[in-house]
Amino acid sequence: MLEKEINYLKKYLPSDKLDEGIKRLNNGEPVQYIVGNVEFYGYTLDVDSRVLIPRRETEELVEEVIKRSKSFNNPVIIDVGTGSGAIAISLSKELDTHVFASDISLDAIEVANKNINKTNANITLLRGDMLKPYIEDNIKVDIIVSNPPYIKEDENIEEIVKNNEPHLALYAKNNGLEFYESILKDASKVLNNKYLIAFEIGNT
């Protein structure tokens, strides 16, 4: 039995829903989707099967961007492929600043918008593929942050991830490098002279 996950169920589910939640857990559904939220960087964010579940590794990315952002004066920050909005919300709240966030998925935009309203974060949401919405709107930025899909199409991953989380947010062509290459190819069109590009990357 998964003690940590069951304790999470007990924390967020009413007692009359607990047995059903444990059954779903035993059937291979992520605990975060069962309760409908995830704890990320001190914020409780809504998640469901339309978006990737934010993970501890992504909190480390947020920590690093916060640290390095101090070398900028009121930096313009964009979160590319925002999903649930976890990165953008954490940066906006922790730095007390406006952040742009984008995603190609309308489902993800809907979830992110819900979390933005829930946390009262100062974020402008854009819909589009990678850097295209920023290029189209002539937005110039100092910091690009992204946790793009980076799993190789033929890579073996945990069944609980493969069977539940959106493949649009998981898999990338060209040996997992597709979206890094897309961002780097167009980065010069949106970046100011001094800049930071911060990616989460998989094992290579």
Confidence of residue 2 (pLDDT cuts 50, 70, 90): confident
- The reported pLDDT for the residue numbered 171 is 87
Alpha helices in the chain (DSSP H): 3-12, 18-26, 31-35, 56-68, 86-95, 106-119, 132-136, 159-162, 178-186
Give the pair of three-digit tokens for residue 65: 């961007």
Average pLDDT, the chain: 95
Q: List the one residue out of 78, 79, 80, 84 whose CA is nearest residue 165.
A: 84
Q: What is the mean pLDDT of residues 83-106?
A: 98
Would you state the pLDDT for residue 3?
87
How many whole angstroms from its chain centre is CA 156?
Answer: 21
Distance separating alpha carbons of residues 83 and 178, to the nearest angstrom? 17
Pairing, β 37-40 against β 43-46: antiparallel
pLDDT of 153 higher than 90: no
CA atoms lying within 13 Å on the CB side of residue 144: 25
The mean pLDDT of 19-34, rounded to a whole number, is 95
Q: Which pLDDT does position 200 carry in this prediction?
A: 95
Which of 52, 49, 66 has its CA nearest to residue 145? 66
Does residue 193 surpass a pLDDT of 70? yes
Q: Is the confidence at residue 49, as pLDDT, over 70?
A: yes
- DSSP label of 15: G
- Is residue 202 predicted with pLDDT exceeding 80? no
Which pairing describes strands 151-152 and 43-46: parallel, antiparallel, or unpaired? unpaired
pLDDT at 63 over 90: yes
The pLDDT of 186-196, averaged and rounded, is 98
CA angle 146, 154, 31 (to 5 degrees): 60
Mean pLDDT throughout 192-201? Answer: 96
> 26 vs 2, 18, 29, 38, CA distance in Å?
9, 12, 7, 19
Taking residues 124-150, report their average pLDDT: 97
